[in-house]
Structure 1
Amino acid sequence: MPAPSRWRRVRPHAAAAVVYLGLGVLVMGKYAVDPAGRISSHLSGDNTWFQWLLSHGAYSVRHLSNPLFSTQQNAPDGVNMMANTSVLGVTLPMAPVTMLLGPAIGYFIWMVGACAATAFSAYWVLQRYLVKSRAAAFVAGAFAGFAPGIIHHANGQPNFVSNFALPLIVARVARLGIDGRWRRDGLILGALVTYQLFINEELLLITAVGSLVLTIAYLAMRPAAARARAGAFLRALGVTAVVAGVLCAYPIWFQFHGPMSFSSMPYFTDWGEDPLAYLTFARDTLAGTPASEATVGRTEQNSYFGWPLTLLALALGVLLWRQSIIARVAAVTAVVVGFLSLGPILRIGGLVTDTPGPLAMMPKKMPVFGLLMPSRLTFVVIGAIVVLIALGWERMRRPYGQVAIAAALLPIIPTPVPTVPERPAPEFITSGAWRPYVTPGHTLVPVPLPDDWRGREELGWSATALHEFAVPEGYFLGPSLDGHGKMGPAQTGTLTRLVHETAKSGTVPVLTEADRAAVRADVAHWSGAVLVMRADPFQEPLRKLVEQVYGPAKQDRDVWVWVPTP
């Protein structure tokens, strides 16, 4: 094929990709000038955590260590990375970027690329399998990558933005064995499922729920056609099960039975979607304001389509019902899974009611499903609306139909996610001045220690240093004393307890000999080689606290250090 002809064929796809990248940069615009100097003002802890995960990927590649586990946080017990949305499907391929540019710039590139790649993946699937109109595919693809729920997660959770494999999975499920090539289809789907496991296991489970509902809906609406396809479909599904089973068996076993594993997160299973959220504009959209969080509650904003798009989706479901079996299946899937997303207890207007929800009978500690947050089932609704938008744009022959779709989408165009300045890591860390203090087999003990309340910056030091030193405790999911999941270690140390007391009261407690002995015992258990605190006037109370245990601090560059004596 002559080059000009090939370019004409590729040009629309390239244009779509460029626009999606531009939208990704818009969403992350407040990071763009100085990615290392900004942090999410909404989910700063998660923002730092995912930078730490990028460094974990780089560390695993550089040291050829087991990526499913890390002892560089929560030393000496470590962290089960499979139980912590390790996103190895992104962090391992991005290892060269992280090593070259650092985790903060890597995080910016990741988030921009994830938004754009998700949108383009949906666009490509739609224009290849569903609609002839590239414009229809483009508009629907933009919603897939930049829906309000996706953008809300762009505040610090790229694992819920990196959805580029999901359109490919759903398309492959819908077409399993359709042309008789069931072995190929099963192999491809098995590979896609395996890859998605290493990006976001929860969304893989949610996609499976959505796929099950759409399959049942198709079977109910077209029983004869479904029976005709059943043989090839089931054979392909069997191949998928074998491929994914072989590739995923050990990682899944490790997640639930390996060190630092747990079976469920009971708190997560209560978090259903507020039905009023479907009518509300999300904060990070043209029509949204922070007031939406006060009205409906500071939820994850997984739906937040705004009333125009919610009404449009309902209208498209009705108008396309007779025209398209795919539209009927999408509409039924959206209604069924949207209903399930309300969770076990209804929340209305931001208030938890006493009314049981559709998942009230599901055990909170149920394996696998006990890790699922019901509100996130809304991602299936997003996918169904993507299909309805594409079909509606193409099949509404009169311009007012397309105008109505555009008008409903206009208010939810994303705005840049909010950030605040981020202090650089101390020179003591970035220059490598810590190295003479921390010998192999020992840890650097930052003060405050990282947890889900304080010590976020200190966890960032570990990320900046690309995990070259280990830290105790941390910001992660681990087993509680009863074996179920919780944030942080099963029991925090005395030092963290004293730091919290000091921060809450604003005064330095007078330590007893028992307190001092407990702190020394904790540091010895962690094999702590040095305690490090940023030399900052605001840290004076904490400096005085530590000095009651280890004596006067020594200043080294821009930090205070204490070297425990045996």
Structure 2
Amino acid sequence: MLDERQVRLPLPPERRRGTTAGLYVLLGLGYLLVSLWLQRRVLADPGGLLIGHVTADADMFAWWLHRFPFAVTHGENPLVTDWMHWPHGLNALWNTAVPLLALALAPVTLVAGSVTAFNVGLVLGPVVSGLVLVAALGPYVGAGTRGWVARGIAGALYAFSPFHLAHAIAGHLNLTWSLLPPLLLLVAHHLFARGPLRRPWLVGALTGLALVGQLVLYTQTLAIGVIFLVVTAVVLALRFPRRVRAHLPGLLRAGLACVGVFVVLGAYPLYLVLAGPNRPRGAIRNVHATGADLANLLVPTRLTAVRAVPDGVDTELGGHIGEQGGYVGVAVLALVVVAVLVVRSTTLRVVAAVGFLSWVASLGTSVVLLGDYTGIPLPWLGFAEVPLLSEVEPVRIQVVTALCVAVVVALWVDRMPLDTPATAVGAVALTALAVVSWLPADAQEVRPAPVPAFFAGGAAPLGPADVVEIYPRITAAWDDGAQGLRWQAASGPAFRIRGGYFIASDPEDDVAIQSRWNRYQIGAQWVADGKNDPSDDYTAAAHRELRDLGITAVAFVPGYAGGDEARALTWTRRVTGDPGRFDGGVWLFRLPDAAPVG
């Protein structure tokens, strides 16, 4: 018999599969440890703290995570609801409802609550995104140790890129799960490989399935992914015009299969997007104000550890820190340029070209430099009037740029010249410098997510027939404006609310992100600010308005609104005509003559 110590035998297929699985596990554990370290502040109380400290989005995401299992277990449609924005209701596909994540995280929600589920989702999002890229790079890099090192580095760069760090601190759960871009990288390999497309119907069907998944995760990323898959095809067609004719039949078959699967499996979500109830009847954002700041290419925020720029420059960037994820930096740019010039790889150059085009697109319709709008037009201006595509925030195309950077680094590590000691030292040094320049800073934040005992205990005096006005008013304001959503969800929910934080329409507004101010809310703000008491006529009109709006009760939560809460409490008694009942940190006032829902 041959001695395995003397003859190197091929690794059996089972052993290879086991080794590969083990490498994925090791990489996954490594990414998870980094993610846990970055978000370790939430570990002290994962059910009482929320990751992120920029926007009210965390409370909104937690509400939708709660909505899905609640709807399913109560026989309701999880994609349409009137528990918020009553009686008009909401269309989940026009809100960042993340139904696919809500399904995946439902066990956590049911056991530990939606706040914990939100935090778990934000910790896992970058980890899973990085691992998907590791898998997608399989056809592009070698299968040996060097190839796995390249894939591991690229996965880490993508998972903890400036893009994902920015959206984590903003509480953008939907954008930390950036699975589609690396999946489309894998699709591109099968669609655009040198030889004829094998099994086009299967490739197209699987692509359609991935697009359906993204449709019920976040529609903007779906649009961005499809646009840049087409861009990749165009770049390749320009590079290899003679191959277009040979590839067209297979691509057409794959396209038909993709569209067929997408339309059939995504029929209902597509209906909700295109013609469903309560969708906005106008533009939900100004596309001209959602581009990236040109300076962000070289100016990192405080979320990046190495910042070779003067202190304070990042505060001049346009937008807020949650959308300032476009940092590339001098070291990474140098690596990309060297890789393009040195490595003989068409794939690398195509990826670099797509990355450059995505960066230009992310700047939006005109150049913004350190917060100043220059008026210099850019190509994305062509999408400004295109239905649906005009709703894409170009700054979020930075995810494609981050992906392309990570892929270029992977291809470089896999193929960089190591022929001589000098070139080896130079290549390794450049790589190390580029990787270090993207190290995340220890700057992620959390904020308290308290729930008064009244809501945590189920808000027993209230029921599904009740429509409740919560004070302080629920708004889109960044500083805890949407905390009332967290309280309603924690109650079961036990009751409906007319207000909220959402994207919808109603009879009065083509686009609404929160309910209109009513007389009760205006009066409460007025007296809390120290103004004179409203007249009896105004008080009576406020009472009638609450009744006409279908409000059956007011939940006044002291300690959260600021201002003169004692006067606001007195005003609430005047309007409702009820002395109120204090229970579990909340004053509850009934409107005696209000008709319950239904």
TM-score, length-scaled by structure 1: 0.92
Structure 2 residue ranges without an equivalent (≥5):
1-11, 419-423, 594-598
Contact 2:65 2:97 in 1 (8 A): no
Counterpart in 1 of 2:191?
176
Shift of 1:179: 4.6
Contact 2:42 2:446 in 1 (8 A): no
CA change 1:461–1:238 in 2 (3 A) is: same
Deviations 1:477-508 (A, max 9, x none): 1237786534223x3323333344456xx214
> 2:404, 2:415 → 1: CA distance?
16
- 1:24-39 to 2 correspondences below 5 Å: 24-39=35-50
Counterpart in 1 of 2:148?
134
Counterpart in 1 of 2:468?
444
Shift of 1:140: 0.7
- 1:216-295 to 2 correspondences below 5 Å: 216-262=234-280, 263-288=282-307, 291-295=312-316
Contact 2:39 2:51 in 1 (8 A): no
Counterpart in 2 of 1:542?
568
| Higher alpha-carbon Rg | 2
Contact 2:580 2:590 in 1 (8 A): no
CA change 1:160–1:420 in 2 (3 A) is: closer
> 2:435, 2:538 → 1: CA distance?
59
Shift of 1:521: 3.4
Counterpart in 2 of 1:71?
82
> 1:390, 1:58 → 2: CA distance?
40
Contact 1:38 1:421 in 2 (8 A): yes
Alignment of 1:368 onto 2:388: yes
RMSD between superposed Cα atoms in Å: 2.4
Secondary structure of 1:562's aligned partner:
strand
Percent of aligned pairs with the same residue?
23
- Which residue of the other structure, out of 115, 127, 134, is the alignment partner of 1:116? 127
- Which residue of the other structure, out of 329, 346, 351, is the alignment partner of 1:330? 351
Secondary structure of 1:92's aligned partner:
helix
Contact 1:78 1:260 in 2 (8 A): yes
Structure 1 residue ranges without an equivalent (≥5):
none
- Which residue of the other structure, out of 548, 556, 564, is the alignment partner of 1:533? 556
> 1:562, 1:53 → 2: CA distance?
27
> 1:283, 1:369 → 2: CA distance?
31
> 2:305, 2:522 → 1: CA distance?
43
Alignment of 1:146 onto 2:160: yes
Q: After alignment, is 24-33 or 2-11 more displaced?
A: 2-11
Q: How many residues align?
A: 558
CA change 1:483–1:536 in 2 (3 A) is: closer
Shift of 1:549: 1.3
TM-score, length-scaled by structure 2: 0.87
Q: After alignment, is 439-448 or 69-78 more displaced?
A: 439-448
Which amino acid in 1 is paired with 2:469?
A: V
Counterpart in 1 of 2:580?
553
Counterpart in 1 of 2:223?
205
Counterpart in 2 of 1:85?
96
> 2:68, 2:119 → 1: CA distance?
16
Secondary structure of 1:175's aligned partner:
helix
- Which residue of the other structure, out of 171, 174, 186, is the alignment partner of 2:204? 186
Contact 2:469 2:499 in 1 (8 A): no
Counterpart in 2 of 1:319?
342
Q: After alignment, is 62-71 or 282-291 more displaced?
A: 282-291
Shift of 1:229: 1.9
> 2:18, 2:30 → 1: CA distance?
18
Counterpart in 2 of 1:471?
497
> 1:247, 1:4 → 2: CA distance?
37
Alignment of 1:163 onto 2:178: yes
Deviations 1:138-184 (A, max 9, x none): 11111111111111101200100111233123311431385520111
> 1:409, 1:124 → 2: CA distance?
20
Q: After alignment, is 278-287 or 83-92 more displaced?
A: 278-287
Which amino acid in 1 is paired with 2:234?
A: I
Alignment of 1:495 onto 2:495: no
CA change 1:5–1:236 in 2 (3 A) is: closer
Alignment of 1:58 onto 2:77: no
Deviations 1:41-93 (A, max 9, x none): 53240111111111111212211311221111111211111100211111023
Contact 1:32 1:108 in 2 (8 A): no
Secondary structure of 1:476's aligned partner:
coil
Contact 1:452 1:488 in 2 (8 A): yes
> 1:170, 1:484 → 2: CA distance?
38
Which amino acid in 2 is paired with 1:457?
A: Q
> 1:488, 1:560 → 2: CA distance?
23
Secondary structure of 1:565's aligned partner:
coil
Contact 1:531 1:561 in 2 (8 A): yes
Contact 2:558 2:585 in 1 (8 A): yes
